[in-house]
Amino acid sequence: MQNKYSIDMINHFDQIVSNPSILGGKPILKGTRISVELILDWIANGSSVAQIIEEFPHLGSEAVKQAVLYAAEATKNTSFYEIEIAA
């Protein structure tokens, strides 16, 4: 699916940062302690972008959308390997 994000933001998420001293290095929204994981939890529980911004008014819709896109990109092209656990 092509949209403006797949062209403009696929390799550039200027609202997403990671710092080992903040939330153990989890990806967060720039200038906050709000993790990409938290945004996904809110969405998974039925919240809209507007509802998230209402709860966190200092966030912009672009930052919230980038969090979702970042998570989507992070899960693409992942290889899974079946391993045998030795007893």
* pTM summary value: 0.74
Q: Over the stretch 14-36, which tens digit does the pLDDT of each residue have? A: 899 988 899 998 999 999 999 99
Q: Over the stretch 40-73, which tens digit does the pLDDT of each residue have? A: 999 999 999 999 999 999 999 999 999 999 998 8
Q: How far apart are CA 15 and CA 48, in angstroms?
A: 19
Q: What is the domain partition of the chain in residue ranges? A: 4-74
Q: How far apart are CA 28 and CA 47, in angstroms?
A: 18
Q: How far apart are CA 85 and CA 56, in angstroms?
A: 44
Place of tokens 């290095």: 25
Contacts of 42 (CB under 8 A, 6+ apart): 51, 52, 55
Cα angle vertex 58, ends 34, 5, to 5°?
75
What topology does CATH give the domain 4-74? Answer: Arc Repressor Mutant, subunit A (1.10.10)
